[in-house]
Structure 1
Amino acid sequence: MATITSLGTGSGLELESLVTKLMTAESVSLTTLQKKQATYTTKISAMGTLRSSLASLQSAASALVPSALESNTDKYASYTATLANTTVGTATASTGAVAGKYSLEVSSLAQGQRLTSSAFASSTTSITSSGGTITLDLGTLSGTTYTADSNRSYSLSLAAGATLSDLRNAINNANAGVTATIINGSGGSQLVLNGSEGTNNVIKLSSSDITGFNFNPATSGTQDWTQSQAAADAAFTLNGIAATSHSNTVTSALDGVTLNLAGTNVGAATTLTITQDLTTNSSKLLQSFVTSYNSAYATMSTLGAYNATTKVAGDLQGNSTLRFAMNQMRQAVFTTKSDNATTPYQSLSDIGVSINTSGQLSIDTTKFNKAMNADPTNVTNLIVKVGSTYNSSIDTLIGTTGSVTVATNGLNKTVKDYDSRIEKLETQLASIEKRYRSQFSALDTLVSSLSKTGDYLTSFISSLSKSSS
């Protein structure tokens, strides 16, 4: 309460202390309201903790469920790919791959085109006195027909007096997929161009105003550039079926498989083995779910606990919403059954998930792997169903109309109502204190006045006595 004035200075009475004691008595109802409001505020915080733990569990449950366009196998399978002859290359596999063995024979590797310019005195020798433009095209050469790719045509602008080094820099700065280097040999400096792998990356150079740098891959005979290596595609057979690739990184021969070719093996085919693994990802995701479940259940247990020794209760001890949430989570663990009544793997307990006396789950990895290897289809279906069940169940708790949400909204409304009641009561108490201070101020003034009158009379009588004597 705000102090209006300091009472008792005139009368010498302890009026300020008296007002404080009176207001303490008057404020009992306010203190009671504030304590009640604090208990609801604590419950709101506890509901937030409950919601957070359930949301984490829901995320782990959702992770068990494939997306709309994803199959259970795509969700859980991981793949490995190996080549028996590693000098031929390496292989990797991902979603879309099909387990099996394939025969691979590589007859040639993809390579990039290499062009070498005429020799110049040095890299700083001027190659144009007036400047100009050289056009670098990339395209496909089929027989003697060159087809330029209009999306990969680069204009290299050179200033008057530009050098061989300037042309090298212009080519590299164009980021065309062509690298240019200068080799300083005994015959002078020569510019060497290296293109990307494949017959779709054939280089053509042309200029009408700078001489000495034209090259047409469709033309035979002597030109300004010497081609020391022609662009070529990789050629191979897979299970006897011929295929080519512009790159030695082959991604389109087998769905979900990437081949990284490094050598040839004509007449000595090697084996490509694709292996599917369903246990690693499924075990990891199920363990994540179990961990989240245990964390959520431990949190709920703490919120609803009561310690008989310390007589300390959890913030939601006896709360019906918490009890409902815990029952929902417990029941869904083992009551969620397989859609296939004939499989021996009907529930989580059949695939290695167990629960202890504290309500904590654990996974027997050996039992789980055995079940997955024995019946991958039904085991993955069961895991997906568990994920869907928990996702839906938790949504009924923390969704827009969920019980935790409704309970939290109710608590927030109660706290808001207490705010209004407390504000009203504080206004009343301020008015009461103001009245007390007004009354005691009048008393202070009166007593002070009477004291002064008494002092005057005492002094007057004393003076009369002195006059008489």
Structure 2
Amino acid sequence: MATASISSLGIGTGVDLEKMLSTIMTAERAPLTALESKISATNSKISLYGTLNTKLDALRTAADTLAYPSRLSAVKASTSTGAGFTANATFATPVGNHTINVSQLASAQKNVTGTYSANTTFSAGELRFTFGASSAETSVPIEEGATLAQVATSINSANLAVKASVVTINESGEQRLVLSGKDSGGDNSFSLVSTTTTASGGQAALNTFDAGLSTTAKNAQLTFDGIAISSSSNTFSNIVPGLTMTVSATGTGSISIQQDSATITTAAENFVKAFNEVASLIKDNSTYNETTKTGGTLSGDATGRSVMSILGSARTSTPTSLSAAEFKSLSSLGIEIQQNGQLTLNKTKLEAAIAKSPTEVTNTLGAYGRQFSSAVTDMQSGNGIVSSRTDSLKGALTRFTANKETLELRLTQIEKRYRAQFTALDKYVTSMQTTSAYLTQQLSSLSSS
């Protein structure tokens, strides 16, 4: 008696065992489906915390701008048309107008030798340099037969406060040696004594200089509101606190130092914007949607609430350095909180405070900037609440992924077992049906005989 071959579940029984197996496996996969939902939700949270970190970085950057008064220069310096100088002011520079008369630019000493033919070589000796007011000499040896270029190389190799170069002055190849002081200013002059002499063998002495082409080292000289001031370079620093001038020509001009609220206002705007972006991200992802009956990614997540609590404390807690300050709060500078948790900037209020005392404004913004920057840094540090929460989520994702792999393997084995059992059932029923048909045929034959 032949046994029927089963090509598809249910052929023998007439029951859709394939559909039954699918229904059973759907039920068996319920834990896997729940686990996949957890993995998806965890990935969403990790991604959201990455975005939160980026926005916290922006907030810390904005706070750092407030923290340093040098970045909040509340004054600007402008010069008169055609003035032979430029000027820059910092937050510490007093407001006012000044008259400047530049009488002399700073220069470095320059000595130019007489003219030598292209093939000139020099006798042995030394070049003895003395720099500034020092009496100490520094000697540069000159070898017998050295060319002008080799002399320049020897000087430069000695790393002195003078630089040597050779200038070819015509098509015949005649040359001059130029010695230039590396630094300008009267205290950076140098003197030179040469021990080379004219030798009988035709070697030249390097000891003649062209006074008409040589220049002395000088300080820059100017008067600032009639007060004579000198500088070894063409840059004058802190003539008044925070004011730097660079002169490029002699002559008379003026500097106007005025209040400049634009830098402070822009920094405050950037801070408000960065704060609001953090607040909006947390709020938008913490709300419950009544229509879909679903919560945001951060619903029930205490870390988001903690971030806003810490930022709120940084905003409302008066820094100790402001105990005697004229402006003790951000709201006194126009940075005010709204009912929706967002900050807003009252520019009129801020500009009025700047007009009253720019130094006090920068001090207050600096104190709060440092306070916010420290708060954000702590949250993002290794043990901070944001970093710890992110690490926790990543750890959970690793466990969920491992559990998923284990569960998928188990489900594969379960389905294999069910399929084997259903196949055996199908074969058994088919066999019984075949036996029944055979017996029925035999009984029919006996009855007819």
Query: TM-score of the superposition, structure 1-length normalised?
Result: 0.68
Tell me, yes or no, if the aligned pair for 2:379 and 2:385 is still in contact at 8 Å.
Answer: yes
Indicate which of 257, 264, 275 corresponds to 1:275.
257
Tell me, yes or no, if the aligned pair for 2:189 and 2:217 is still in contact at 8 Å.
Answer: no
Indicate which of 210, 218, 223 corresponds to 1:226.
210
Structure 1 pair 332–166 and aligned structure 2 pair: CA distance change class (3 A): closer
Indicate which of 162, 167, 170 corresponds to 1:184.
170
Tell me which amino acid in the other structure corresponds to 1:286.
A
The CA deviation at 1:297 is 1.8
SS at match of 2:410: helix
Match of 2:131 in 1: 140
Match of 1:126 in 2: 119
Identity over aligned pairs, percent? 28
Question: C-alpha root-mean-square deviation of aligned residues, in Å?
Answer: 5.0
Match of 1:218 in 2: none
User: Alpha-carbon deviations, 1:312-341, whole Å to 9, x = none?
Assistant: 643223544333433554565467589458
SS at match of 1:181: strand
Structure 1 pair 170–17 and aligned structure 2 pair: CA distance change class (3 A): farther
Indicate which of 194, 206, 210 corresponds to 1:214.
206
Tell me which amino acid in the other structure corresponds to 1:191.
R
Indicate which of 43, 63, 80 corresponds to 1:41.
43
Tell me, yes or no, if the aligned pair for 2:286 and 2:296 is still in contact at 8 Å.
Answer: yes
Tell me which amino acid in the other structure corresponds to 1:8.
S
Indicate which of 346, 367, 389 corresponds to 2:349.
367
Tell me, yes or no, if the aligned pair for 2:234 and 2:247 is still in contact at 8 Å.
Answer: yes
Match of 2:30 in 1: 28
User: Alpha-carbon deviations, 1:90-135, whole Å to 9, x = none?
Assistant: 44445775666667555544334444444456xxx3223xx89897
Determine the C-alpha separation between the residues in 1 that align with 2:274 and 2:102: 49
The CA deviation at 1:233 is 0.9
Determine the C-alpha separation between the residues in 1 that align with 2:152 and 2:176: 7
Tell me, yes or no, if the aligned pair for 1:81 and 1:274 is still in contact at 8 Å.
Answer: yes
The CA deviation at 1:307 is 4.6
Tell me, yes or no, if the aligned pair for 2:76 and 2:260 is still in contact at 8 Å.
Answer: no
Match of 1:247 in 2: 233
Tell me, yes or no, if the aligned pair for 1:136 and 1:154 is still in contact at 8 Å.
Answer: yes
Structure 1 pair 445–97 and aligned structure 2 pair: CA distance change class (3 A): same
Which is further off, 22-31 or 196-205?
196-205
Structure 1 pair 402–446 and aligned structure 2 pair: CA distance change class (3 A): same
Does residue 1:303 correspond to 2:303, yes or no?
Answer: no
Does residue 1:193 correspond to 2:178, yes or no?
Answer: yes
Tell me which amino acid in the other structure corresponds to 1:111.
S
The CA deviation at 1:292 is 0.4
SS at match of 1:77: coil
Tell me, yes or no, if the aligned pair for 1:61 and 1:391 is still in contact at 8 Å.
Answer: yes
Determine the C-alpha separation between the residues in 2 that align with 1:86 and 1:136: 44
Tell me which amino acid in the other structure corresponds to 1:59.
T
Match of 1:290 in 2: 272
Match of 1:110 in 2: 106
Query: TM-score of the superposition, structure 2-length normalised?
Result: 0.70
Determine the C-alpha separation between the residues in 1 that align with 2:325 and 2:235: 46
Structure 1 pair 156–57 and aligned structure 2 pair: CA distance change class (3 A): farther
SS at match of 2:66: coil
User: Alpha-carbon deviations, 1:141-192, whole Å to 9, x = none?
Assistant: 66xx8755x5xx87889998x6x6787899899995445422228x983426
User: Alpha-carbon deviations, 1:279-335, whole Å to 9, x = none?
Assistant: 344323222211101211221222123454566643223544333433554565467
Determine the C-alpha separation between the residues in 2 that align with 1:40 and 1:96: 51
Determine the C-alpha separation between the residues in 2 that align with 1:368 and 1:115: 58
Match of 1:61 in 2: 63
Match of 1:219 in 2: none
Determine the C-alpha separation between the residues in 1 that align with 2:366 and 2:392: 35
Determine the C-alpha separation between the residues in 2 that align with 1:342 and 1:11: 88
Indicate which of 294, 304, 307 corresponds to 1:322.
304
The CA deviation at 1:378 is 3.8
Tell me, yes or no, if the aligned pair for 1:352 and 1:368 is still in contact at 8 Å.
Answer: yes
Determine the C-alpha separation between the residues in 2 that align with 1:140 and 1:93: 35
Tell me which amino acid in the other structure corresponds to 1:321.
T
Tell me, yes or no, if the aligned pair for 1:8 and 1:15 is still in contact at 8 Å.
Answer: no
Match of 2:410 in 1: 428
Tell me, yes or no, if the aligned pair for 1:304 and 1:314 is still in contact at 8 Å.
Answer: yes
Does residue 1:386 correspond to 2:379, yes or no?
Answer: no
User: Alpha-carbon deviations, 1:67-88, whole Å to 9, x = none?
Assistant: xxxxx5x563355456669555
SS at match of 2:246: strand
Determine the C-alpha separation between the residues in 1 that align with 2:125 and 2:231: 30
Determine the C-alpha separation between the residues in 1 that align with 2:300 and 2:343: 24
Structure 2 unmatched ranges of 5 or more: none
Structure 1 pair 135–358 and aligned structure 2 pair: CA distance change class (3 A): farther
Tell me, yes or no, if the aligned pair for 1:111 and 1:233 is still in contact at 8 Å.
Answer: yes
Aligned residues: 425
